[in-house]
Amino acid sequence: MSEKLRNMTFYCCAVLVLISVALYITGWKAVPYIYAVSGAGVSVYYLTSTYSGENRRLRRLNFQQVIAALLLPVSSYLMFKHRNDWFLALFVSAVLQIYIVTVRRHEEKKNNGNNYKSAK
Q: Are strands 116-118 and 49-51 parallel, antiparallel or unpaired?
A: antiparallel
Quick one: pLDDT at residue 115? Answer: 54
Query: Residue 57: which residues within 8 A CB-CB, separation 6 or more?
Result: 103, 107
DSSP assignments along 65-111, one per residue: HHHHHHHHHHHHHHHHTT-TTHHHHHHHHHHHHHHHHHHHHHHHHHH
Instruction: Give the structural domain span for 90.
Output: 3-118
pLDDT truncated to tens, each residue of the chain (120 aa)? 788 999 999 999 999 999 999 999 998 999 999 999 999 999 999 999 888 878 889 899 999 999 999 999 999 999 999 998 999 999 999 999 999 999 988 888 887 655 555 554
Quick one: pLDDT at residue 114? Answer: 52
Quick one: pLDDT at residue 120? Answer: 46
Quick one: pLDDT at residue 50? Answer: 81
Quick one: pLDDT at residue 37? Answer: 96
DSSP code at position 22: H
Tell me which H or E stretch contains 49: strand 49-51
Domain count, the chain: 1
Quick one: pLDDT at residue 87? Answer: 94
- For the whole model, what pTM was predicted? 0.83
